[in-house]
Amino acid sequence: MCFRIGYPQSIRRLVQTTALGVLSGIMVTLPVRSADKLYFDYGVLGRQVSVSSLETFATDGTIDDELAPYLNQISPENRQEFQRILSTPLVALNDGIPEQIADPFVLSQWLYSPIGELVLATAGQLIQTEGRQNGQQAIRAAMVLAAADPAGLSLINVLRFYPTNGIRLDLPQILALSEAIETNIETTDSLVQATIQQSVAVAATEPRLDYQALPMLADVPRFDVVKQSLLLEDRDRNRTYPTDLYLPADLSAVSGPLPVMVFSHGYGDTRTNPESVAAARSLAANGFVVAVPEHIGSNTAYQDDLALGLSRESFDVMEFINRPLDIRFLLDTLEEKNKTDFQGRLQLDRVGLAGYSFGGYTVLATAGATIDVALLEEQCDLEADFVPDNVNIALLIQCRLLELKAAPQILQQLTDGSLADDRIASVFALSPLSNLFGEKGMGNIQMPVVIVGGAYDIATPIVQEQLAAFQRLTTAEKYFYLAENLSHTSALTRAVLDLAYPRSGIVDSFNASEQWLFNLMVTLLIAHAQVALMGDETYNPYLTAAYVESVSVDPTRLHLLRSLPPCLSERRCAEN
């Protein structure tokens, strides 16, 4: 049985304390060096700065003769900010940085995981050893030692513990990365502006209704809701996982067939996430039967094992296949229960899927999208130059799929469409991982698809992920909702807004409107499902640009595209 309950806190503490003791003992015996020089390499040209000068500046703001030519060129405010960034532990720099990074054991576990290795290998191209070798191992050692030091994991402490006499920064690659990031920012800004303009223009042509008078479906329960818990045992895959069902308490009060919606949670998340539960209950209160499975190879508990030293991965690479198969087996189970528990009323020939992040990948794959391995190989090539298409944090997860090349028969399931389930009739994907499907893969989906993205999403960037996926869809029924100022999670949104608009009060504005945005998203999910699954066209007014333009509120206003503006499809918006 694969499903594992959580470890008691006493056992967790014992495992972690023992591991930290071993780690501390190892680090005490290590010959700790400190980098003396920071080299800025630019071809045959270069400059160097002593780490001791940076340490003095970080400690008390003193600018010696070595630093003066550089720091005297910037404003006092920027010098003060640079000092803060050098000397402040990372977890104190921004609320969006997880506190676990300050724990040397947890940090070490993550840095040795496949995703951590990929991050380090990429960073090591830019931050090299004195002998111009990839700095991957040196960076890892410096970060873990800095985290174990009383001064904490700050940038200056990482420099102190860098285990070679010199640190080389490859400026051409750093500049290439900077240019790629700048291009992504400009393209995203162009996308936002073009989307707003087209959404507003389309809204002006749509029927003149009092859209604000339409009930917020998430707030208008029609039925009381009950929860049922299932434990599904798929013996073919030796996989046992829990699933929660949310459904109207009195099924006889619901006329006609019972529409079914399946929710797929994100990477490192769980089916009991309060937002998932609230959304599932809202749909059930509107007459749906909602199933929320636990994806046991990529959930919170799996990541906890990594932090405890019980696993070396933050997720099982087989999740690319197991997640869609979790949904298939769940639907098979519901077909059996339909005969005994639901009197055949479950509408299982037209099922809706909703997924967030990795769950967005899951629902798109289950709907028929296939993987473009060649595209993924190109974007995951560590030796390739930095270009906008491969400056994408979401690739940290997607590139792991290439590990399955060692098992061609398994990989084939991702490329030949065998993961598709013909019972699926609509998809609602929020901030999905979707770049790995490529043009052909997304073109395989032939049903109504809704894609939602946040303009400030730094985890699954909207241009490379959601915009590209929407552009590649060939189905006539496709919807692209863009949310201004929104990032991947609420915590990341607050962190990004605080950086982008310091002292503006925009974070307070987001906090005040966050529940409204959630209710609007759930309302759209309900309306799209009613139209796509039940053919109830009375919900069509909700599916318009005029609706979201009328009811959205700052700072995360929603806008709707049914097709890309010409300038976006031709990548020339920034020129206009």
**CATH label of the domain that carries residue 514:** 3.40.50.1820
Q: Using the 3D structure, point to which of 164, 179, 201 is the last residue of a domain.
A: 164
Instruction: For residue 545, tell me if it sits in a domain.
Output: yes
Task: Identify whether 552 is part of a domain.
Answer: yes
C-alpha 398/C-alpha 516 separation (Å) is 32
- Whether residue 137 is found in the same domain as residue 270: no
Residue 389 has a pLDDT of 84
Query: Does 4 score more than 70 pLDDT?
Result: no
Q: How far apart are CA 318 and CA 328, in angstroms?
A: 15
- Evaluate whether 480 touches 466 at the Cβ level (below 8 Å): yes
Residue 184 lies in a domain: no
Q: How far is Cα 287 from Cα 244, in angstroms, rounded to an integer? A: 16
Answer yes or no: are the C-beta atoms of 526 and 217 closer than 8 Å: yes
Query: Which residue range is the domain that position 488 belongs to?
Result: 190-575
Q: Which amino acid is at 200?
A: V
Q: How many CB atoms sit inside 10 A of residue 11's CB?
A: 11
Residue 531 within a domain? yes
pLDDT band at 500 (very low <50, low <70, confident <90, very high): confident
Q: Which conformational region is residue 200 in: left (phi greater than 0), alpha (psi within -120 to 50 degrees), or beta?
A: alpha
**Which of 164, 198, 223 is the last residue in one of the domains?**
164
Q: Are 108 and 144 in contact (CB under 8 A)?
A: yes
> Which segment of 18-27, 127-136, 234-243, 327-336 scores lowest on mean pLDDT?
18-27
In this prediction, residue 9 has a pLDDT band, given cuts at 50, 70 and 90, of: very low
Mean predicted confidence (pLDDT) in 92-97: 77
157 with 257, same domain: the answer is no
Q: Which two tokens stand for residue 538?
A: 């009375």
In this prediction, residue 33 carries a pLDDT of 53
Claim to verify: residue 128 and residue 197 sit in the same structural domain: no
- CA atoms of 511 and 305, how far apart (whole Å): 32
pLDDT band at 342 (very low <50, low <70, confident <90, very high): very high
> Closest by alpha carbon to 429, among 470, 397, 461?
470
Q: How far is CA 424 from the centre of its chain?
A: 24
User: Quick one: 159 and 304 in the same domain?
Assistant: no
What strands lie across the sheet with 166-170, from one edge to the other? 45-50, 37-42, 166-170, 127-129
**Cα separation of 548 and 559, whole Å?**
6
Task: Please give the residue that has the higher pLDDT: either 280 or 567.
Answer: 280
**Tell me, what amino acid is at 496?**
V
Which stretch, 40-49, 68-77, 480-489, has highest mean pLDDT? 480-489
Q: Which of 170-179, 197-206, 476-485, 546-555 has the lowest mean pLDDT?
A: 170-179
Is 171 inside any structural domain? no
- The confidence score (pLDDT) of residue 98 equals 78
Distances (CA, A) of 517 to 365, 486, 522, 554: 27, 10, 9, 10
Are residues 337 and 195 both part of a single domain? yes
Question: Of 148, 164, 180, which one is at a domain's C-terminal end?
Answer: 164
Q: Are residues 415 and 281 in the same domain?
A: yes
Ranges assigned E (strand) in 433-557: 449-454, 478-483
For residue range 509-539, what is the model confidence (pLDDT) as tens digits? 999 999 999 999 999 999 999 999 999 999 9
pLDDT tops 50 at residue 35: yes
**How many residues does this entry show for the chain?**
576
In a 3-state reduction of DSSP, which class is residue 166?
strand
In the predicted model, what is the mean pLDDT of the chain? 90
Query: Which SS3 state, helix, strand or coil, does residue 349 take?
Result: strand
Does 437 reside within a domain? yes
- The answer on 159 and 196 residing in a single domain is no
Whether 146 and 265 share a structural domain: no
In a domain, 401, yes or no: yes
- What CA dihedral angle connects 307, 161, 115 and 176, to 10 degrees? 150
pLDDT of residue 539: 98
Q: Region 423-427: what's the mean pLDDT? A: 98
Average pLDDT score over residue span 437-448: 97
Mean pLDDT along residues 342-358: 97
Per-residue model confidence as pLDDT tens digits over 189-237:
999 999 999 999 999 999 999 999 999 999 999 999 999 999 999 999 9
Q: Is the pLDDT of residue 574 over 70?
A: no
What is the predicted pLDDT for the residue at 567? Answer: 66
Instruction: Provide the pLDDT confidence category of residue 312 given band limits of 50, 70 and 90.
Output: confident
Q: Which residue has the tokens 């013909």?
A: 422
The more confidently predicted of residues 484 and 391 is 484
Residue 374 CB burial class (10 angstroms; 0-12, 13-18, ≥19): exposed
Specify the 3-state DSSP secondary structure of 483: strand
Condensed to tens digits (0 to 9), the pLDDT of residues 372-383 reads: 999 999 999 988
pLDDT bin (cut points 50, 70, 90) of residue 571 is low
Residue type, 446: Q
| DSSP-assigned letters across all residues of 203-249 | HHHS----GGGS--GGG---S-EEEEEEEEEETTTTEEEEEEEEEES
Same domain flag for 123 and 212: no
198 and 160 within one domain = no
pLDDT at 72 (0 to 100): 87
Handedness of CA 249, 251, 255, 260 (dihedral sign): positive
Claim to verify: residue 153 and residue 203 sit in the same structural domain: no
Cβ contact 174:126 at 8 Å = yes
Number of domains in the chain: 2
The model's confidence at residue 438, banded by pLDDT at 50, 70 and 90, is very high
Q: Judging by beta carbons within 10 Å of its beta carbon (0-12, 13-18, 19+), is residue 139 exposed, middle or buried? A: buried
Shared domain for 560 and 471, answered yes or no, is yes
Lookup result for tokens 């759209």: 524
pTM exceeds 0.85, yes or no: yes
State the Rg of the chain over Cα: 25
Higher pLDDT, residue 99 or 393: 393
What DSSP letter does each residue of 247-280 carry, written as one string?
A: EES-GGGS-S-EEEEEEE--TTB-TT-HHHHHHH
Q: Is the pLDDT of residue 96 over 80?
A: no
Please tell me the number of Cα atoms within 13 Å of 347 on its side-chain side.
Answer: 23
- pLDDT recorded at residue 25: 36
Specify the residue for token string 């499907």.
437
173 is a domain residue: no
Type of residue numbered 350: R
